[in-house]
């Protein structure tokens, strides 16, 4: 995935609360183009693979349970400076610390059920996009 792309996933709390449309609208209005998108689910095992980098952290088990608890909406997005600008759009991991107007401030329930994922580097955007979408170079 080129460096003008990032990967995101609307998490089960936000999909379950019916906020998929509102969040997608914010993403598009912020200038991101949707390159790939689907509604799907993660098994407990696949959630564990996606968050494997956190496997030693105390919240890992709860995070994997939560991320496999309902549908999610993964997307590949395109924009100049995509990774950094998207992290700004979503806000801090803990919604109580997220800036006003960010997606997490508006929609997150808690530090775990925090509405949305955003890749933290170009390399991870590529890896995470490939986790959900095959042959991403086609998109």
Residues marked as catalytic: 117
Work out the burial of residue 122: count CB atoms within 10 Å of its CB; fewer than 13 is exposed, 13-18 middle, 19 or more buried.
middle
The minimum distance between CB 137 and ligand UDP, in angstroms, equals 25
* Of residues 9, 22, 6, the one with CA closest to residue 107: 22
Q: CB nearer to ligand UDP: give 28 or 65.
A: 65
Binds 68: which of Mg ion, ligand UDP, none (CB < 5-8 Å by kind): none
**Stretch of residues binding Mg ion (CB under 5 A), selected from 33-41, 101-109, 114-122, 129-137:** 114-122
Q: Among Mg ion, ligand UDP, none, what binds residue 127 when CB lies within 5 to 8 Å by partner kind?
A: none
Q: Which residues bind ligand UDP (CB under 6 A)?
A: 54, 59, 63, 93, 111-112, 114, 117, 120
Q: How far apart are CA 89 and CA 104, in angstroms?
A: 9
Cβ atoms of 116 and 8 closer than 8 Å: yes
Backbone angles phi, psi at 40, to 5 degrees: -150, -175
- Give the shortest CB-120-to-Mg ion separation in angstroms: 5
Nearer to ligand UDP, 79 or 117 (CB): 117
CA distance 60 to 50: 11
Residues that bind Mg ion (CB under 5 A): 120
């Amino acid at each position: 995935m080129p460096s003008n792309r990032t990967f995101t996933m609307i998490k089960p709390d936000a999909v379950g609360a019916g906020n998929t449309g509102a969040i997608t609208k914010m993403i598009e209005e912020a200038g991101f183009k949707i390159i790939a998108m689907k509604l799907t689910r993660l098994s407990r095992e696949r959630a564990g693979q996606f968050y494997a980098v956190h496997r030693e952290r105390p919240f890992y088990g709860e995070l994997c349970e939560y991320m496999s608890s309902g549908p999610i909406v993964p997307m590949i997005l395109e924009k100049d400076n995509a990774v950094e600008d998207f992290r700004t759009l979503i806000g801090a991991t803990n919604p109580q610390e997220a800036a006003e107007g960010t997606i997490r401030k508006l929609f997150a329930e808690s530090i775990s059920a925090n509405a949305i994922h955003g890749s933290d580097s170009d390399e991870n955007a590529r890896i995470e996009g490939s986790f959900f979408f095959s042959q991403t170079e086609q998109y």
